[in-house]
Amino acid sequence: MSLNSTAFSHPPYFLLVGIPGLEKEQFWIAFPFCIMYAIAVLGNITLLLIIKGEPSLHEPMYLFLAMLALTDLVLSTSMLPKMLGIFWLGSKEIGFLSCLAQLFFIHTFSSVESGVLMAMALDRYIAICCPLRHSSILSVPAVVALGSLVLVRGVLLVSPFCFLLRRMPFCQHHVISHSYCEHMAVVKLACGDTRFSVIYGLFVAFIVTGSDMILISVSYTMILRVVMRLSSTEARLKAFSTCASHVCVILAFYVPALFTFLTHRFGHSIPSHLHIMVANLYLLVPPMLNPIVYGVRTKKLWDRVV
């Protein structure tokens, strides 16, 4: 392949617009985003240190929570520093390979987060429905194996995004109408046949989000059936309280995720600035909320903090 055709296929860099339509307001929007990121980093690092330093917390629920905290740190750090560069410094350029790397980390760890939430729902189901077998079914090696499986799934499913994009010609199109390198936002710039990339993106979204949400829904349906059979109102409230924090975290992750995914493909009438704003919050709100929700709702963690 000649140098000219290589340049034709791969632009040396992309330009990230930020939030289309809100370019003038971006400088001020960056401040709450920065505060949310600072809370997310502080909260998740605190969670990791507490769980690592307290042997009594080395059980499935808290090990999954440590995985969630680590995932949130990678996810938010993959996009926020560059976004602040765009909003505050006007540093819109991102190299082609850097863009693919950002895309890989954001989509891989979004998949990992979904998988960890599914694993946590499974843990709650076993703890409430099969309490006597909980420690034998979800031993520490089983938890590590499940976490590793979720990570490998994310890497294997997302890697083809990058390989496919490297093989696509981009002509002179290099302005991304987004704050970070999102798969569909980059695919839209390609001037070749993108049908396979679009179909594969839909497949990954449905296979990850669809399967995880089904398993989470089944787990909580079974939990609800068991809890409603309990004769003691106090026992029911305790069981509901145990699951409440997890349900809040699930909603905070999946509602904006589904909105972003569906808007990219079908919501052409939705203003682009609203879509991009939700896409940004989708990667910032859950990492910020998770340590707060679990820290306040989980007595063992709260006791360690105070």
What per-residue confidence (pLDDT) applies to 305? Answer: 52
Residue 216 in this model has a pLDDT that exceeds 50 = yes
CA distance 43 to 38: 8
Over residues 133-161, mean pLDDT:
92
What per-residue confidence (pLDDT) applies to 188? Answer: 86
Highest mean pLDDT among 9-13, 85-89, 237-241, 297-301: 85-89
Over residues 61-73, mean pLDDT:
93
**134 vs 70, higher pLDDT:** 70
Query: What letters, b where the CB count within 10 A reaches 16 and e where it falls short, cover 263-297?
Result: bbeeeeeeebbebbbbbbbbbbbbbbbbbebbbeb
What is the length of the chain? Answer: 306
**74 vs 260, higher pLDDT:** 74
CA distance 68 to 290: 8
pLDDT grade for 124, boundaries at 50, 70 and 90: confident
Q: What is the mean pLDDT of the chain?
A: 85
What per-residue confidence (pLDDT) applies to 135? Answer: 84
What per-residue confidence (pLDDT) applies to 297? Answer: 61
Residue ranges covered by each domain of the chain: 13-303
What per-residue confidence (pLDDT) applies to 4? Answer: 44
Span of 59-63, 79-83, 158-162 with lowest mean pLDDT: 59-63
Q: Is 234 exposed, middle or buried (0-12, 13-18, 19+ CB in 10 A)?
A: exposed
**296 vs 270, higher pLDDT:** 270
pLDDT (tens digit per residue) in 235-245 = 677 777 767 77
Of 67, 10, 70, which is closest to residue 40 (Cα–Cα)?
Answer: 70
Residue 232's CB: how many other CB atoms inside 10 A? 9
pTM for this structure? 0.88
Q: Report the percent of the chain where pLDDT is more than 70.
A: 91
**99 vs 223, higher pLDDT:** 99
Residue 213 in this model has a pLDDT that exceeds 60 = yes
> Where are the alpha helices (H) located in the chain, listed in sequence order?
3-9, 26-53, 60-89, 96-129, 134-137, 140-166, 183-187, 195-205, 211-228, 233-265, 272-282, 285-297, 299-305
What per-residue confidence (pLDDT) applies to 237? Answer: 76
Q: CATH: 3.20.19.10, 3.40.33.10, 1.20.1070.10, 1.10.3720.10. Which one for 13-303? A: 1.20.1070.10
What per-residue confidence (pLDDT) applies to 257? Answer: 81
CA distance 189 to 173: 6
pLDDT (tens digit per residue) in 148-158 = 999 999 999 99
